[in-house]
């Protein structure tokens, strides 16, 4: 879906955002699902307290569409250099499980 212009402006001015653009089009990055919240990664944020945070567009839940700062999933993959970049406590599998 197209990222609404107001959400795009808010994402670009979000505190702690690293330099760069945000995508004009987004899709849910979780495993396919018909209900509940959907999430799309918008940009990297400067870590707080050593925890890498990311800025996500969240929609489809009771709160409607909005930006949310969420820490990254802490799970590592089959090799030490692979980690799950989805939000912590995400539904479905980790990113590396999609390609096994």
**CA–CA–CA angle 60, 70, 66 (5° rounding):** 35
Instruction: For residue 32, give the nearest of 89, 81, 98, 85 by alpha carbon.
Output: 98
Could you tell me the residue ranges of all domains in the chain? 1-72
> What is the distance between the alpha carbons of residues 18 and 12, in angstroms, rounded to a whole number?
9
Mean local confidence (pLDDT), 8-20: 89
Q: What is the pTM of this model?
A: 0.86
pLDDT in tens, 19-37: 788 999 999 999 888 888 9
């Amino acid at each position: 879906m197209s990222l609404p212009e107001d959400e795009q402006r808010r994402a670009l001015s979000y505190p702690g955002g690293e330099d760069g653009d945000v995508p004009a089009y987004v899709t849910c990055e979780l495993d396919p699902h018909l209900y509940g919240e959907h999430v799309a990664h918008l940009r990297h944020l400067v870590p707080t307290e050593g925890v890498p945070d990311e800025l996500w567009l969240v929609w489809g839940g009771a709160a409607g569409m909005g930006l949310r700062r969420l820490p990254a999933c802490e799970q590592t993959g089959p090799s030490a250099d692979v980690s799950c970049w989805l939000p912590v406590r995400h539904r479905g599998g980790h990113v590396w499980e999609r390609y096994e």
